[in-house]
Amino acid sequence: MRQIMNDHPTITRFDDCWQLRLDTPEAVHRDIAAQLEAGLDQARRTHLFGGRYENLYLPLDRVPALTPVLDAIVTAAAGILDVEPAHVRYGFWFNRMAPGDTTTRHNHDDLDERLSGTYYIRTAPGCGDLVLHGRQGATRISAEEGLCVLFRPDLDHEVTRNDSRTIRLSIGINFTVDGDSGRH
In terms of pLDDT, which residue wins out, 159 or 44?
159
The pTM of this model reads 0.90
Residues β-bridged to residue 134: 137
Q: Chain-centre distance of CA 124, in angstroms?
A: 16
Which of the residue ranges 39-43, 129-133, 143-147 would you say has the lowest mean pLDDT? 39-43
Cβ-Cβ contacts under 8 Å for 37 (sequence gap 6 or more): none
CATH class of 11-177: mainly beta
Burial class for 179, CB neighbours closer than 10 Å (0-12, 13-18, 19+): exposed
pLDDT over 90 percentage in the chain: 70
Rounded Cα–Cα distance for residues 40 and 97 (Å): 14
Higher pLDDT, 123 or 110: 123
> Are residues 90 and 83 in contact, defined by beta-carbon separation less than 8 angstroms?
no
Domain extent listing, the chain: 11-177
Q: What is the pLDDT of residues 135-181, one digit of tens each?
A: 889 999 999 999 999 999 999 999 999 999 999 999 999 999 987 65
Mean pLDDT of 24-36: 95
pLDDT of 184 = 37
Amino acid at 47: H
pLDDT value at position 3? 39
Q: Is the pLDDT of residue 28 over 90?
A: yes
- Estimate to the nearest angstrom the gap between the alpha carbon of 84 and the chain centroid: 21
